[in-house]
Amino acid sequence: MPDALRVGMAGLGTVGVGVLRLLESNRDLVRARAGRGIEVVAVSARDRSKDRGVDLSRVRWADSLAELASDEDCDIVVELIGGAEGDALDLARAALSQGRGLVTANKALIAHHGLEMARLAEENAAPLKFEAAVAGGIPVVAGLREGAAANAIERIYGILNGTSNYVLSEMEASGADFGDVLADAQAMGYAEADPAFDVDGTDAAHKLAILAAIGFGSRIDFDAVSVSGIAEVRAADIAHARTLGFVIRLVGVADCEDGPEGARLLQRVRPCLVPKQHPLAHVTGPTNAVVAEGDFAGRLLFQGAGAGAGPTASAVVADLIDIARGRTGHPFSLPVDSLVAMERADPGHRVGRDYIRFTVADRPGVLAEITAAMRDAGVSIESLIQQGRAQDGNGVLVAMVTHEGEERCVRHALELLEDSDSLTAAPLVLPILRD
């Protein structure tokens, strides 16, 4: 059997400890499947004295990340520090530049610097893998890169953030409002003390940008992802959606649109109304699910735990096994120079249906004003719900679902209503996910 693959690990938080536990507990199995051992020979973490419940006696402590990155005894650096910039970025650059492979669970790093990382990897013939960066333990990076490799991918979408999905499905189950459910989720450990990146859609956007780049063979373009989070979704919206046959989920959608000047990319993370019969409607709790639509394979669904020490460690070690076996390939499925810089699509001409919720003053004529604006903008209303007062006592909620129409029409209708003093709060528009 060849020599073991020697790993230097940066970061010993829950995921780092999970990787050590996995390599210990499944040692024989990993060796058999990798064709050689996988050994963590060096680590770097802030606090050396902390008891992490794993045996570190045979592991060398690197005094700095720079030392780890240039450690001749390491074939691969596993980066579990997190963050798009700073230490993680410095380490990744240093490791790849010196020809050391990089395995990372860091979605922010790849979303922001994936192209640079892939280029460094290519120039230095160093493997770069990041299965753990997208959807935790679900092998969706490999599923897209290899499993669906024969397909032109037309659309990738999914539930990419476990915390938001937990919050939305709890709101659905309990009827409680966003703030209360989030506080409970934090108390129970399903949401971080600072849940901003989870509930504002940023985390899902990181993952979506990575998936889109792999699926479409394009240069990663995180800045092009349009993002809205779930903080504006009220219990009343979930109730309205239910009445209309939908649930609400935070969905990231990447579309590859054909246009006269080549393909254009549209990437959006938004709370959506999902038809109850759609596979994503049944995804509850802190679960992730990704759908890729291929021109030959059809609709492929990958679902599982999107976070947590065990699932993330499973993905990190799957990458290490691939590297140990020599199964590397291009990080984004194509050589860097073949990755296309896709134009951004203008969503205005896209055809779809929307749920629109208005908070309005409780007085005659308001509904006439709204429906007139819809008519003037060419928006056709399929159904309308007016139910009770807004929770804060500051108006009445009116919700509607539009017929299929161009998105710019809805945008125009809202512009017409922008200065109306009938609206006591900004309207909320939630797209309806295509079935």
Give the binding site for a copy of itself (CB under 8 A).
18, 22, 25-26, 29-30, 32-34, 131, 137-139, 142-143, 146-152, 217, 277, 279, 282, 289, 294-305, 308, 310-311, 313-318, 320-322, 325-327, 329, 333-334, 338
DSSP state of 41: E
Residue 330 tokens read as 């291009």
Q: Which is nearer to a copy of itself, 201 or 286 (CB)?
A: 286
CB of 80 to a copy of itself, least distance (A): 15
Contact 399, 233 (CB under 8 A): no
Q: How far is the CB of 303 from a copy of itself (least distance, A)?
A: 4
Shortest Cβ distance from residue 306 to a copy of itself (Å)? 10
Instruction: Please name the amino acid found at residue 86.
Output: G
**CA 271 to CA 431: how far, in whole Å?**
8
Q: Which amino acid is at 208?
A: L
Task: Tell me if 266 sits within 8 A of 254, measured CB to CB.
Answer: yes
Residue where the block lists tokens 């990080």: 331
Q: How far is the CB of 419 from a copy of itself (least distance, A)?
A: 45
- Picking from 2, 3, 13, the residue whose alpha carbon sits closest to that of residue 316 is 13
Burial label for 259, CB within 10 Å (0-12, 13-18, 19+), is exposed
For the CA atoms of 89, 91, 92, 93, the dihedral, rounded to the nearest 10 degrees, stands at: 80
Contact by Cβ (8 Å): 281, 247: yes
The least distance separating a copy of itself from the CB of residue 54, rounded to whole angstroms, comes to 14
Q: For a copy of itself, give the closer residue by CB, 289 or 409.
A: 289
- Residue 287 contacts residue 159 (beta carbons within 8 Å): yes
- The smaller minimum CB distance to a copy of itself, of residues 103 and 230, is found at 103
Contact 410, 380 (CB under 8 A): no
Judged by CB, which is closer to a copy of itself: 26, or 371? 26
Min CB(149)–a copy of itself separation in Å: 5
SS3 label, residue 207:
helix
| Whole-angstrom distance, CA of residue 310 vs CA of residue 324 | 21
**Nearer CB in complex with a copy of itself: 30/110:** 30
Which entry of 50, 129, 207, 276 is annotated as an active-site residue?
207
Q: In whole angstroms, what is the distance from residue 150 CA to residue 297 CA?
A: 9
Nearest residue (CB) to a copy of itself, 262 versus 279 = 279
Least Cβ distance, residue 51 to a copy of itself (angstroms): 22
Please state, in angstroms and rounded to a whole number, the distance separating the CA atoms of residues 104 and 320.
10
What's the alpha-carbon Rg for the chain, to the nearest Å?
24
Is residue 129 part of the annotated active site? The answer reads no
**Cα–Cα distance, 370 to 423 (Å, whole number):** 9
Alpha-carbon distance 252 to 62, whole Å? 39
| Element (DSSP H or E) covering residue 413 | helix 407-416
User: What residues act catalytically?
Assistant: 207
